Structure 1
Amino acid sequence: MNPRFYTIGMSGHIDHGKTTLTKALTNIDTDRLKEEIERKISIELGYASFLLGEYETTIVDVPGHEKFIRQMIAGVAGIDLVILVIAADEGVMPQTKEHLEILSFLGLEHGIIAVTKIDRVDQDFIELIRDDIRSAVNRTIFENADVVLVDSISGNGLEELKSAIARNLRNIQQREAKGAFRLPIDQVFTIQGQGTIVRGTIYEGTIKKGDPLLLLPHQITVKARQLQVHNREKDMAIAGQRVAINLGGAVKEAVKRGDVLVSSDHYSLSKAIEVSLQTVKDLKYPVKQRAPVKFYCGTSEVMGKIVLLDRKELNGDEEVLCQIRLEDPVVARRGDRIVLRRPSPVETIGGGWIIDPFSKKLRFGEETIRKLERKRRGSQDDRLLDALNERYLLSKNELLQTASFDPETLEETLSRLLQNLQVITVESDVFTSSKAYEKVRQEIHRILQKYHESYPLRSGMNKAECAQALKGVPVLLIEAVVEREVGCGGLKREKQFISLASFEPHFPRQWEQQFERAVQRMEADGLKVKPFDEYFSGEKVPEYLLQEARRHLLQTERAYTLDDKQLIHHRTHDKQLDALYRFTNGQPFTVQEAKAILDTTRKNLVLYLELLDQLRFTKRVGEQRVWLKNE
């Protein structure tokens, strides 16, 4: 029979017998620190291997004292089954209730209630304790849980507890072993001659001895030199197992609880997170907008601020969609459970799960809430499309991060959406949604239409300028849309300039006659042209339009530049060029010889000859010019 791997949490109020019960089940004392032994309380998380038939489990002994709630949250973050320990001689206590709330917020669905120290009370008192417990666990995961009476010293009830554990584990699905490896670290220590050791419960994926790993958020590349599961060396460990990893490439000072080991770049860091949050029933003080909070996810604890999106404050027993903005980055995926606590005065605010670990700045109001609600309830198709609609363009790897898919599910979802044309391939393994594509296409058309109205004399808009106007849209997507629009005839492109297919440069209608008259007069003046602006004297043409007209004539080669003020008409250029070539018979010529042929001032003649040099019709050699082109 193949083994099944689970983690069991031992939770409850201080001094209710969690550590003693763990030892009774496993023969391992999880209080290992000197202070824990002296004070007889658990301060840090304790771990003990527990083999129960086909089930290879680890019991996590969670501190019960209110000062160690942080450790408690870190300890229960990766568990599959929780045993809530309640002492028969004390019953339900304050920390029992807080643990109950936190366990609910972390989404745990399977629990057992162990009533300990039963040898200290008589049967009638036990019945009162049962009633007290049932009242306390109403509407929690323990509402229908097995209640097992046990005494850890004498061993009474231990077999019944083991049977209850096996019965519950039988109904719990194992963690997902496929996909990328992720291990939130809850312990870091060193062993002489071995180096840095980290421990944690594998959330997802598989790890093999020798695998390269990435330590986040530090972005340090490390290597899994050795693996141990239940104090036995292994070549491989899978999701659900508690593993110790000997890291190569990291010193102990560089690693801490809350860091995460991953096997690939499928995981990224988050600082703004959208969450579905349920507040505690009895919140002592309202939580104001942007109030500081302690954010717990996995084994990490990070300070942040809560951003409310449809109200000014939070009160008890509310369910809200909100954003958490963190001071430091965390590794998180959609569906990860979180807990929020107030730093001062200290209390648990609530908990819930992550809708989107890669949030952006959100507007206050119902429209944002509707979007978050769609994200919260969305199918796999909805999640992928929402990610593409919001971010326009994502690679496969980015989709794995933002939409929290495993590779196999992503391939299935992409294939389905590509087939029904809701997703478009931009380039290899880079995608956009048809909705995002159409939005960008329409926006490009709108920008170009506005540009043509403002600059009717320009042949088109510089593509780079158009891209700059599309704020937030990846250049790669803009390039793809332009390319396809040019291909299907929606746009025209000339060098770096793009325009609507139906557009042709033209003079503004109200100034069309004035411009044509000016161009005709310029042509009539031949090489004896006046400054360009003088042809519009008395016409009251706006200065910016004169500059646009000049640019248009030059770009369309209806005119050529003599100097910074004068232009000559293209037909003037053609006539003078033809006359000069014919009279020189294609032979080298001097300025004096050209002056005898062309009717203009010496200044303009020199300017014209320099223009011919620039156009590569002639080349100056000493006092002569030689022809470079045959006419």
Structure 2
Amino acid sequence: GFAWLTLPSGREVSIVDVPGHERFIKNMLAGVGAIDLALLIVAADESVMPQTREHLAILDLLQIRRGLVVVTKTDLADDVMVELVKAEIEDALEGTTFQGAQMVGVSAYSGDGLDELKDAIDAILDETQARADLGRPRLPVDRCFSITGFGTVVTGTLIDGGFAVGQEVELVSSGQKARIRGLQSHQSHIDQTQPGVRLAVNISGISRDEVPRGEVLTTAGWLHPTYRLDARLRMVKGIGHSLRHNQGVSFHLFTSESNARVRLLDADRLAPGTEGWVQILLNEPLPAVKGDFFIIRSAEDTLGGGQVVDPAPRRRHRRFSPEVVERMMMLDQGTGEDVLFTVAEQREPCELADLSQHSNLPVPEVLERIAVLESQGHVAVLGKLGVDSDAVVFSTQGWNVLKSKLDMSLQAYHNQYPLRRGAPVQEIRSRLGLSLPVYQRVVARLALEALLVEDGTYLRTPDHQVSLTPEMEKQASDFVAALEREPYSPPTDHPVDRELLSILADQGKVVKITDSIVFAAPAFQEMRDRIIEHIRAQGDQGSITVAETRTMFNTSRKYVLPLLEYLDQQQITRRVGDERVLR
């Protein structure tokens, strides 16, 4: 259930009532994921129940430190009984994040203690920092319905950023786009909102049936579902058995749920009350961000919970690997620069959105800390991060490795094809396995640093030069001379190597029309110019036919047809029926 309350200070707060019965623990997990203050409710006539201990364990696993214990139904117990209940509660709180929490006794029937409870809530919230605006809003959906005349409405608790009317949003799991038609909080219509509020969002273009519970509404392009995540896991104290490697569990994150298997990375078993590093393999992909808290359960019990350190690791980790554990510890406990460097090193090349999501740092802080890392020589930034949409970050080691691979690829190509002026751009890109935008950034940066040369659609090392042996020079000279002796009907049985022919074409000495027809460059230029002049001499409707071209150069269709088709390809002429006209 959901309601809101105006406190004595005038502050409005949202209240999410989560079910207490053990059969409804899953519903409780969906409601408790994004709260600022928890009220642990214990009835004075019942004292601490099994579900009380399980809820307390969950609050402890989620690291919820701001809380009040509310002893209800004090009208049904005498003072001695109430004090005994409080003592039992104190024992239950020991060793949890609620240890030492304030207790307030209330009676809904008589109203006793309600004012004290409101004041206590106000006092704690006075010391509570506002939810951080990381510039990437997330609304885990706990309800979806439709209203006649308005369409689909989703509700949830907004975290990590704000929404505004008219903003384009995305449902992460389905990838569907929508636009915000309206926002409402505490039954008041608003144009925009900050994180940390209960919110109803009216979205257009999506039906109610397309939004399941557990979806996440956010801005487009930065958050993606994952089948795998790395985490620090802590087991609940007092459960009856240890967690085995690869054990199946139910995984809960905000309002999302999926069956999963837990891979233990530094132990064979996790005993009750112990911690370990794990990789969780999800049956259904869920969107997560570094720092998110989660819970795992068996069919009957809450087993443990923890915090995501990498929401989308690229591979399954080897177990008992010191390097894997060290990297996860750095992501979990390192400074902002440490975390960003580790993310860049693990996921390079990284875009700004990746760095923010996997470090759980707001974009302005990412930009500031990456600038520090770049100045210290720890990372290489290609493009203007935060300005260019395709700017990326490499670790310095990763950047040096990439430069070395590119240089070796070029050297290998030059060794294999010494007579070619360079390697085709796309072939080198394929060898490096980079996306086109990143590849273009890499080539531009290396060309600027004079580590390679861009030559049209080719790349070469700065010291690569095509040199012919005396024998090759003679073959080339003899071939060009043969073409010039029959300028309009050159021989088609080429006595030269294909690589040598390519060099002559690059040098502008010949023009290759087809694999078998090659003209000396002066002859081709003359033929092209005479064809253009013939068409222009006839005015706006000028044209030329195959027969006219054949007569003009006293040659055969064998040469004329490929020549005219080549001029079409070069955008000089175009075919209209049996004639050619100028473009």
TM-score class, shorter-chain normalisation, is 0.7 to 0.9
571-580 or 292-301, which moves further after superposition?
571-580
1:578 positional shift:
5.8
2:305 matched residue in structure 1: 351
CA deviations 1:270-312 (Å, max 9, x no partner) are 3322212111113333333332222211211122222222233
2:3 matched residue in structure 1: 48
Gaps of 5+ in 2: 492-514, 525-552, 560-583
Distance 1:136 1:458, change over 3 A: same
Instruction: Indicate whether 1:390 and 2:346 are aligned.
Output: yes
Two-structure CA RMSD over aligned residues (Å):
3.5
CA deviations 1:530-585 (Å, max 9, x no partner) are xxxxxxxxxxxxxxxxxxxxxxxxxx5559xxxxxxxx85325536866997xx8x
Separation in 2, partners of 1:192, 1:588: 79
2:432 matched residue in structure 1: 470
Instruction: Indicate whether 1:570 and 2:473 are aligned.
Output: yes
- SS state at 1:186 partner: strand
Query: Which residue identity is paired with 1:381?
Result: E
1:437 matched residue in structure 2: 399
Equivalent positions of 1:475-514 (< 5 A) are 476-491=437-452
- SS state at 1:78 partner: coil
Distance 1:369 1:455, change over 3 A: farther
Instruction: Indicate whether 1:225 and 2:184 are aligned.
Output: no
1:112 matched residue in structure 2: 68
- SS state at 1:292 partner: strand
Preserved contact between residue 257 and residue 299 of structure 1 (Cα < 8 Å) = yes
**Equivalent of residue 371 in structure 1, options 327, 334, 354:** 327
CA deviations 1:40-72 (Å, max 9, x no partner) are xxxxxx111111023211111110111111100
How many residues are paired up?
500
- SS state at 1:152 partner: coil
489-498 or 280-289, which moves further after superposition?
489-498
1:467 positional shift:
3.8
1:408 matched residue in structure 2: 364
Separation in 1, partners of 2:167, 2:249: 36
Preserved contact between residue 203 and residue 239 of structure 1 (Cα < 8 Å) = yes
Query: Which residue identity is paired with 1:167?
Result: A
Separation in 2, partners of 1:324, 1:126: 43
Separation in 1, partners of 2:409, 2:316: 26
1:463 positional shift:
5.1
1:172 matched residue in structure 2: 128
- SS state at 2:116 partner: helix
Preserved contact between residue 5 and residue 15 of structure 2 (Cα < 8 Å) = yes
Preserved contact between residue 275 and residue 355 of structure 1 (Cα < 8 Å) = yes
Separation in 2, partners of 1:262, 1:577: 66
1:261 matched residue in structure 2: 217
Separation in 2, partners of 1:174, 1:110: 13
1:30 matched residue in structure 2: none
1:211 matched residue in structure 2: 167
Preserved contact between residue 184 and residue 202 of structure 1 (Cα < 8 Å) = yes
Query: Which residue identity is paired with 1:134?
Result: E
CA deviations 1:114-161 (Å, max 9, x no partner) are 112223233333332222111110011221111112222112222222
Separation in 1, partners of 2:477, 2:412: 36
Separation in 2, partners of 1:271, 1:358: 8
1:98 matched residue in structure 2: 54
Preserved contact between residue 290 and residue 360 of structure 2 (Cα < 8 Å) = yes
Query: Which residue identity is paired with 1:229?
Result: S
Preserved contact between residue 483 and residue 520 of structure 2 (Cα < 8 Å) = no
Report which of the two structures shows the higher radius of gyration computed on alpha carbons: 1
Separation in 2, partners of 1:273, 1:590: 67
Preserved contact between residue 268 and residue 401 of structure 1 (Cα < 8 Å) = no
CA deviations 1:519-540 (Å, max 9, x no partner) are xxxxxxxxxxxxxxxxxxxxxx
Separation in 2, partners of 1:611, 1:177: 67
Query: Which residue identity is paired with 2:305?
Result: G
CA deviations 1:68-110 (Å, max 9, x no partner) are 1110011111211111111222221111111011111222111
Query: Which residue identity is paired with 1:433?
Result: F
- SS state at 1:394 partner: coil
Preserved contact between residue 239 and residue 303 of structure 2 (Cα < 8 Å) = yes
Separation in 1, partners of 2:121, 2:480: 100
Separation in 1, partners of 2:64, 2:194: 20
**Equivalent of residue 380 in structure 2, options 423, 426, 438:** 423
Distance 1:456 1:66, change over 3 A: same
1:264 positional shift:
4.0
Identical aligned residues as a percent: 30
- SS state at 2:403 partner: helix
- For normalisation by structure 1, the TM-score amounts to 0.70
Separation in 2, partners of 1:453, 1:590: 32
Instruction: Indicate whether 1:235 and 2:191 are aligned.
Output: yes
Separation in 1, partners of 2:11, 2:333: 34
Separation in 2, partners of 1:484, 1:235: 44
Equivalent positions of 1:193-212 (< 5 A) are 193-212=149-168
Distance 1:589 1:373, change over 3 A: closer
Separation in 1, partners of 2:405, 2:450: 17
Separation in 2, partners of 1:414, 1:313: 39
Distance 1:172 1:466, change over 3 A: same
Query: Which residue identity is paired with 2:392?
Result: F
Query: Which residue identity is paired with 1:423?
Result: A
Gaps of 5+ in 1: 1-45, 506-555, 560-567, 592-609, 627-631
Separation in 2, partners of 1:382, 1:260: 29
Preserved contact between residue 181 and residue 264 of structure 1 (Cα < 8 Å) = no
2:507 matched residue in structure 1: none
1:132 matched residue in structure 2: 88
**Equivalent of residue 144 in structure 1, options 100, 111, 119:** 100
Equivalent positions of 1:247-286 (< 5 A) are 247-286=203-242
1:354 positional shift:
1.5
Separation in 2, partners of 1:212, 1:590: 64
1:614 positional shift:
4.8
Preserved contact between residue 104 and residue 141 of structure 1 (Cα < 8 Å) = yes
Separation in 2, partners of 1:186, 1:589: 79
Preserved contact between residue 393 and residue 474 of structure 1 (Cα < 8 Å) = no
Distance 1:291 1:469, change over 3 A: farther
Instruction: Indicate whether 1:362 and 2:331 are aligned.
Output: no
Distance 1:580 1:243, change over 3 A: closer
Separation in 2, partners of 1:332, 1:613: 61
99-108 or 413-422, which moves further after superposition?
413-422
Preserved contact between residue 440 and residue 478 of structure 1 (Cα < 8 Å) = no
Preserved contact between residue 180 and residue 264 of structure 1 (Cα < 8 Å) = no
Query: Which residue identity is paired with 1:148?
Result: V
- SS state at 2:89 partner: helix
1:70 matched residue in structure 2: 26
Separation in 1, partners of 2:192, 2:476: 82
**Equivalent of residue 329 in structure 1, options 254, 267, 285:** 285
Distance 1:118 1:575, change over 3 A: closer
Preserved contact between residue 277 and residue 353 of structure 1 (Cα < 8 Å) = yes
Preserved contact between residue 362 and residue 368 of structure 1 (Cα < 8 Å) = no
Query: Which residue identity is paired with 1:123?
Result: D
